[in-house]
Structure 1
Amino acid sequence: MASYTPLAHLPPYPEPSHGSQDRSEPENHSTPPESLIEPSPPTPLSPEPEPEPAESTETINQPESTHNLIGSWWLELSSLTICLTSFAAIAKWNWTTRYSEPLITFERFDAASRGAWGSLRLIGTFLQHPHWASLGALTTIILLAFEPLIQIILTFEDQPVTVNGTEHAQVPSIDGTQATEATAFIGRSSLLDAGIWTILEGSCAMGFIPFPGPDGKESKYPFGCGSSNVRPDMGIAAAIWNGFSPLITKQNLWPTFTWGYFDDPPDVSNNSPDANLEMSDQTLSITKYTIPEVSLQLSNYNGKSRCASETDLCPDTYLSAKFTTNPGHTISFRELNTLILATQFLQANESWHDNETTWEDTAVTAQECSLFFCINEYETIIEKSILRERVSSSWNIRTPASYDSTIKEVGEFMAYANYTLDMNGAWPELTDLQISIPNQDYSSRAGNLSQQSFNITQASIMSLLKTLKDGFGLADCTSNCTTNTTIYPALGSSQPSSLMSGLGETNNVSLTFETVALSLTKWMRDREFSTTSVVHGDATMFVVITRVKWIFLVFPAVTLILGIVFAALSIRETHRLKRGAWKDSALVTLACAPTGEFRDRLQAAVATGKIFEVGRMAEVMMEYRDGLGNLVLKKEEDQPRV
């Protein structure tokens, strides 16, 4: 984890503390655990705890039996409409057999047998003379009018349902196939064991490192191997370099110069003779920013920036920094006993680099950053194939007696060196570093967390420190190691270290530390994919729930009953009259057409356009002779004159 602290008002530079390892730890808030490397404000790099199961989200439409029920019901109603038109055709023959009515009524029955418009006309007739025969026409009209409103009967609702991997595999997908590993899974760090010892056990030469003991007298701890005996893990190196990228390209080699041009080196951060060559014969003013408590300064010549490009010989310095692996040499992280690396820096605003301000008017930022080990608990979710994580809880509590030795003097050195993780090239055999979750926090999260502590092996720590120290140019030393001031871009005979170049190029040191922490965290979690230490998530599926508004089905239900009643009465009437069910056959209509003078008068009415007037005036009925029917006028004297 990385943390950051402004250094605007710094307390006096702290002396190495000799306190106990048990110390209060500030609580960091992050989510489900994995051991991670994190930056501080500027703070540390931290190994991660195991993450919460990732969740994927998808929508699955599952047809309900209600769909089939409503569809079948409406199909029956549509079929009923067809039946009703047939029964309307039968009714016209039954009607004329039993009653004498205007000829127009016969025509309206015939029209009703052919569609809803005819049924509407037939309703007009029965408004004057109500009869059960109107039920068929009324039902047809109702069914036709209600059909566009069928959607109000059904409502659809997406309801989220959470299923695990086994249940998810049993859900049919759209194309009928579903992979068993369809749910998301994510790496979970359970142990960090990276780096390799390149020597055989017991083959290191024994040595002793002196240090001030707790009683003020000199003490010594024995060591067996140096940092050179550890082969760094390539994954660690790649993750660190990835975090500091993009790095600047390798600069050109510069010719060697002597100090002969100056009586004394100039009091600027980059006082290399070749970089200050053009300033040697000038009297120039200098503005210097200093933090005496940590012996850090950043100074440049007043005026605009003198570097036109990265190939110029110029003394401009944009970044001045110091690095340490000892918590006691920091301002904000003295109690952080999982510290990996800390930096204090002064950085000039980009406005000077871009020649927008002069040096004396340029703002300078002072901060302290660190990388440390911690355990993070994550809340994760995958939406549309994008992983989203939030750190809900974080712990950096070093378990007492971990990363220690049975040799008494080693423990005393740890206390003297503020429980640093860096043995500075003189390594005795140490136990794993263990970071633990407090009991009260773990008990409330036991359902989400698979373990309460996280171990990092000594070889992993040595590999990580070696890669970082080599990148920043930190040499191994016997105790309390802190670098001298390192500058960027340091154009001249002394080039900056590779990782220092990465910091300078970013123009944002704290953000770079965060990126490095995230890169190392990702590496730690990804390496677990080759093992069984992965977390399978749950899938949130949205199932379409169909709801039926039964109150709206009352209307079509009543209509269905009316249609069935009409059909039953029509069948009963046909059987009672013992006449054929001729329906809407045009041949039957021709066979029963009027004859004689009545036919002639109808033809004349058609010719003069008065056929509907005659139809309303002429009352007709069906007259049967020898089993054959004819439409005849009820009374000859009522026969219309055209």
Structure 2
Amino acid sequence: MAPSGLDGWRLPAYEPLNNELEPHETEQAMSSSAVIREETGELDDHEETMPGNISQSSNSSSRDEASCSGSTSDTAIMRGSAEDKPPESNVSAPEPKDASDRFTFELAGVVVSAGLLATMLALLSVYDHQPQPSWPHISLNAVISTLSTLSKASLIFSVGESLGQLKWVWFSQQKRPLLHLRLFDSASRGAWGSLRLVWHQRAQHFAGLGAVVMILALAFDPFSQNLIHNYVKMVADPSGKARIGTVSIYNTIGSDMATSFFEVDPALKGNVYNSLFNNDQSRPWEIPKFVCTSSNCTWDEPVASLEFRTLCTNVTSVLIPNCTTFPANSSYAGQTNCTFTLPKSNTSAWYLPNSPVMTPFSVAGVPPTDAEVYTNASLIVIQYIAPQHANVSLFEGGLLPNGTLWEATECLLDPIVRSFRPAVHQNTYSEETLAIWTQSNFVTVDNANVTAGNTLTPPGTWVADYGVPVNQSSPQNNSAQSYVLGFNAGKTIETFFQAIFSGQSSRSVLHTVFTPTFNNYAASDTLEALGWGNITGCSDLLADRLPCAMGNVAAAMTKTLRDSAYIADPRSTSGWAVGNAMMPAVYIAVHWQWVVLPLVVWVAGATLVYSNTTTKSPDIQDLNSLTCSIVKYYAHLSFRTSIHLYLEVDPIFPCDPTYSTKPLVLFPSPSIRDNHGNVKNEEYFLYFFSLVSFSQHAKIFPTCMVQENSS
């Protein structure tokens, strides 16, 4: 349609073109147009003169606005010959626009995209390695997804508009095939069209950057979503409880059995028997009592407590072998008897080579003064002799050949102070040992501040580093409190172990017996367990069984001491080490490497838009990516009409590259004249016919190929 500025002037007289169609071609074209329009009626006479004033149809305007939303009101006139130009005084030239006005929406889209992207990253930074927020009705993932989608949409809008503008830059530089129009138009609509443009352009034009942005934008949302990873972290439960017992003074004993003789603490005795007779692989006799309401507990600070340990040493080197022959008047006349003896304690074992008669093992509890190695032990020392490489089957059969080697082992039980860090995971208790203090001295007299017995006092550094409380008698010195194994408890422990770990097994031709040295406590049962019992964690080799059994015993005794916190015994001092009951919580971990692609896409898109706004030529109209931008261009055409018409192309007939080699023929719509023959609507429909080839004057304009007036 003619621009408003053309009202009031009459169109110049018709001047024939050199490339006009022949009459028979015209008739064929008119017939085709009638079919396409699906309307009946004859075409109006083209020889009539168009009235000077042409009013714009409201229907045409409304359709143009719907089809070309966002287009500018400026029009570009493709003029014919100089004498066909309308009078300059009657034409209103378009006002030049500032770049900030022309690209307001594109720049705003980039800014909005950056703001949304920055908001997304700021939100992720706040919640990185923090608990997952418990927002009502929405999750953090949903918020990030929304921000990511909006950021991408804003950026794609700006990039698509810039690609549309670069289309006109591409065509303004030189003559281009009409196929390029479809490539640019498709690229501004999505990734597939952009991929085709990249393949076709091969980095020949700046629009390739926009096409790459459109392609990479497909991964914008997946990369943004992959920023968030959830993991389960244990956190303290404010309402939970976690505690474990500790003991600093242990002096618990059993009942009075006779003058100057007390039984051992029944709890200790039961735990020791359990460690020797119970083959439960979960080792319940070594796990101290604990409280953990959540089944998962930790202790931030180290814990220190009085405990027991065992140490064992191979003393075979001091073992004295002695082989003699039985006299003739003996029932074993002529046979050799080999005896192996530890010199200080006279602990011994013997066997008859190649005979079932022997002592498969011998054990004895001796004072430190009779020990071979542990002469400074605080309590009793256990000595043990057994043949090398023999296993428990020796009790049921088998012979020892002449020259069999025997081993001697010496073990002790010592009170210690151990610093450790306890933990409970899935209701399973475990400990990490941090440090052990073993130096002790014996205090013989009770007083107000010290209990008689084996006393262990760690250095002051243990107060800060290993969880030892400050000595309350002299807190100003920051010295560590002392840990004491009371005299009475120590004596009952010595008596108990001397009884159960003294004796030997004896094998004859008919049977095997276990003979204890003392008849109190379960001495014979202990010897039987040591000989062929299924002791938890112990092998069947006889020479290795005592060190293993003593390890179980020490763990059982430690449990007894720690559990004394649950028993109100005034003779012992115990306490609680309080920890944290932990509960699982979902935490957020941001994998920042996934933000690289969204940032690269935004930077590339912003670069494209900014460059487009700053480098645009003022001669290129702001047509952007409108498919029907030709609506705002007027073709100065003539077709056997005696007048020149400024035609408006109907947008329902899009330009198609397949018609790029076909001539353009314009026919007036039958509906453009009223009953009086006056033009009532400037609408013309665009048809393509394979009638003649374009002349050399054919020229490509932004959306359609038209014929330029050559006169």
Shorter-chain TM range is 0.5 to 0.7
One-letter identity of the residue aligned with 2:353 = N
SS at match of 1:142: helix
Contact 1:268 / 1:299 at 8 angstroms: preserved in 2?
no
Contact 1:196 / 1:459 at 8 angstroms: preserved in 2?
no
Question: CA–CA distance in 2 between the matches of 1:90 and 1:622?
Answer: 30
Q: Which residue of 2 aligns with 1:534?
A: 577
Q: Please state how far the C-alpha of 1:536 moved relative to its aligned partner.
A: 2.5
Q: Which residue of 1 aligns with 2:213?
A: 142
Question: CA–CA distance in 2 between the matches of 1:96 and 1:233?
Answer: 102
Q: Which residue of 1 aligns with 2:455?
A: 435
For residues 285-330 of structure 1, what are the alpha-carbon distances to aligned partners after superposition, in whole Å with 9 as ceiling and x for unaligned? 22222334322322222205x2xxxxxxxx4311122222x32232
Does 1:72 pair with 2:147? yes
Does 1:112 pair with 2:211? no
Q: Which residue of 2 aligns with 1:333?
A: 374
Q: Which residue of 2 aligns with 1:557?
A: 602
Question: CA–CA distance in 2 between the matches of 1:549 and 1:516?
Answer: 56
**Change in 2 beyond 3 A, CA 1:121/1:593:** same
**Change in 2 beyond 3 A, CA 1:286/1:79:** same
**Change in 2 beyond 3 A, CA 1:93/1:498:** same
Question: CA–CA distance in 1 between the matches of 2:513 and 2:604?
Answer: 100
**Change in 2 beyond 3 A, CA 1:628/1:367:** same
Q: Please state how far the C-alpha of 1:371 moved relative to its aligned partner.
A: 1.6
**Change in 2 beyond 3 A, CA 1:443/1:492:** closer
Contact 2:197 / 2:211 at 8 angstroms: preserved in 1?
no
One-letter identity of the residue aligned with 1:389 = E
SS at match of 1:242: helix
Question: CA–CA distance in 1 between the matches of 2:142 and 2:216?
Answer: 21
**Change in 2 beyond 3 A, CA 1:546/1:527:** farther
Q: Please state how far the C-alpha of 1:549 moved relative to its aligned partner.
A: 8.8
Question: CA–CA distance in 2 between the matches of 1:398 and 1:621?
Answer: 118
Q: Which residue of 1 aligns with 2:338?
A: 287
Q: Which residue of 1 aligns with 2:260?
A: 226
Contact 1:100 / 1:619 at 8 angstroms: preserved in 2?
no
**Change in 2 beyond 3 A, CA 1:125/1:348:** closer
Question: CA–CA distance in 2 between the matches of 1:442 and 1:237?
Answer: 34
Q: Which residue of 1 aligns with 2:490?
A: 461
Q: Which residue of 2 aligns with 1:322?
A: 364
Q: Please state how far the C-alpha of 1:364 moved relative to its aligned partner.
A: 0.4
**Change in 2 beyond 3 A, CA 1:347/1:85:** same
**Change in 2 beyond 3 A, CA 1:432/1:383:** same
Q: How does 1:253-292 map to 2 (within 5 A)?
A: 280=331, 283-292=334-343
Does 1:81 pair with 2:81? no
Q: Please state how far the C-alpha of 1:547 moved relative to its aligned partner.
A: 4.1
SS at match of 2:344: helix
Q: Which residue of 1 aligns with 2:413?
A: 371
Q: Please state how far the C-alpha of 1:432 moved relative to its aligned partner.
A: 3.3
Q: Please state how far the C-alpha of 1:551 moved relative to its aligned partner.
A: 7.8
Q: How does 1:198-237 map to 2 (within 5 A)?
A: 225-227=259-261, 230=262, 232-237=264-269
Question: CA–CA distance in 2 between the matches of 1:574 and 1:63?
Answer: 52
Question: CA–CA distance in 2 between the matches of 1:357 and 1:589?
Answer: 117
One-letter identity of the residue aligned with 1:433 = G
Q: Please state how far the C-alpha of 1:365 moved relative to its aligned partner.
A: 0.6
One-letter identity of the residue aligned with 2:265 = D
Contact 2:244 / 2:577 at 8 angstroms: preserved in 1?
yes
Contact 2:341 / 2:348 at 8 angstroms: preserved in 1?
yes
Q: Which residue of 2 aligns with 1:348?
A: 387
The sequence identity of aligned pairs, in percent, is: 14
Contact 2:250 / 2:485 at 8 angstroms: preserved in 1?
yes
SS at match of 2:419: strand
Q: Which residue of 1 aligns with 2:347?
A: 296
Query: Of the candidates 277, 282, 301, which is equivalent to residue 245 of structure 1?
Result: 277
Q: Please state how far the C-alpha of 1:116 moved relative to its aligned partner.
A: 2.6
SS at match of 1:238: helix
**Change in 2 beyond 3 A, CA 1:175/1:457:** closer
SS at match of 2:660: helix
Q: Please state how far the C-alpha of 1:392 moved relative to its aligned partner.
A: 2.7
Contact 2:236 / 2:581 at 8 angstroms: preserved in 1?
no
**Change in 2 beyond 3 A, CA 1:618/1:436:** farther
Contact 1:88 / 1:109 at 8 angstroms: preserved in 2?
yes
One-letter identity of the residue aligned with 2:490 = I
Query: Of the candidates 427, 432, 450, which is equivalent to residue 389 of structure 1?
Result: 432
Query: Of the candidates 497, 503, 528, which is equivalent to residue 501 of structure 1?
Result: 528
**Change in 2 beyond 3 A, CA 1:504/1:543:** farther
Q: Please state how far the C-alpha of 1:390 moved relative to its aligned partner.
A: 3.1
**Change in 2 beyond 3 A, CA 1:128/1:282:** closer
One-letter identity of the residue aligned with 1:331 = E
**Change in 2 beyond 3 A, CA 1:494/1:436:** closer
Question: CA–CA distance in 2 between the matches of 1:527 and 1:627?
Answer: 106
SS at match of 1:189: strand
Q: How does 1:480-519 map to 2 (within 5 A)?
A: 486-487=504-505, 495-496=515-516, 497-505=524-532, 507=542, 508-519=545-556
Q: Which protein has the larger Cα radius of gyration, Structure 1 or Structure 2?
A: 2
Q: Please state how far the C-alpha of 1:346 moved relative to its aligned partner.
A: 1.8
For structure 2, list consecutive stretches of 5 or more residues without a partner in the other structure.
1-127, 134-139, 280-321, 470-479, 517-523, 534-541, 568-573, 632-647, 673-680, 699-704, 706-711
Q: Please state how far the C-alpha of 1:284 moved relative to its aligned partner.
A: 2.6
One-letter identity of the residue aligned with 2:653 = A
Q: Please state how far the C-alpha of 1:375 moved relative to its aligned partner.
A: 2.1
Contact 2:165 / 2:622 at 8 angstroms: preserved in 1?
no
Q: Please state how far the C-alpha of 1:517 moved relative to its aligned partner.
A: 0.8
Contact 1:287 / 1:359 at 8 angstroms: preserved in 2?
no
Normalising by structure 2, we get a TM-score of 0.48
Contact 2:245 / 2:564 at 8 angstroms: preserved in 1?
yes
Q: Which residue of 1 aligns with 2:44?
A: none
Question: CA–CA distance in 2 between the matches of 1:84 and 1:192?
Answer: 80
Contact 1:320 / 1:345 at 8 angstroms: preserved in 2?
yes
Contact 2:348 / 2:362 at 8 angstroms: preserved in 1?
yes
Question: CA–CA distance in 2 between the matches of 1:517 and 1:534?
Answer: 22
Question: CA–CA distance in 1 between the matches of 2:405 and 2:624?
Answer: 111
Q: Please state how far the C-alpha of 1:498 moved relative to its aligned partner.
A: 2.5
Contact 2:339 / 2:348 at 8 angstroms: preserved in 1?
yes
Contact 1:246 / 1:502 at 8 angstroms: preserved in 2?
no
Q: Please state how far the C-alpha of 1:505 moved relative to its aligned partner.
A: 2.8
Q: Please state how far the C-alpha of 1:379 moved relative to its aligned partner.
A: 5.5
Normalising by structure 1, we get a TM-score of 0.53
For residues 540-585 of structure 1, what are the alpha-carbon distances to aligned partners after superposition, in whole Å with 9 as ceiling and x for unaligned? 9998464469887763233232565599899x99997899986999
One-letter identity of the residue aligned with 1:118 = G
For residues 482-513 of structure 1, what are the alpha-carbon distances to aligned partners after superposition, in whole Å with 9 as ceiling and x for unaligned? x7x64456857874422222332362212211
Question: CA–CA distance in 2 between the matches of 1:579 and 1:303?
Answer: 107
Contact 1:574 / 1:580 at 8 angstroms: preserved in 2?
no
Q: Which residue of 2 aligns with 1:593?
A: 653
Q: Which residue of 1 aligns with 2:107?
A: none
**Change in 2 beyond 3 A, CA 1:577/1:434:** closer
Greater RCO, CA 8 A, separation 6+: 1
**Change in 2 beyond 3 A, CA 1:630/1:532:** farther
**Change in 2 beyond 3 A, CA 1:226/1:550:** same
**Change in 2 beyond 3 A, CA 1:584/1:189:** farther
Contact 1:374 / 1:435 at 8 angstroms: preserved in 2?
no
One-letter identity of the residue aligned with 1:139 = G
**Change in 2 beyond 3 A, CA 1:359/1:405:** farther
Q: Please state how far the C-alpha of 1:443 moved relative to its aligned partner.
A: 3.2
Question: CA–CA distance in 1 between the matches of 2:429 and 2:194?
Answer: 60
One-letter identity of the residue aligned with 1:369 = C
Question: CA–CA distance in 2 between the matches of 1:93 and 1:148?
Answer: 29
**Change in 2 beyond 3 A, CA 1:509/1:122:** closer
SS at match of 1:294: coil
One-letter identity of the residue aligned with 1:243 = S
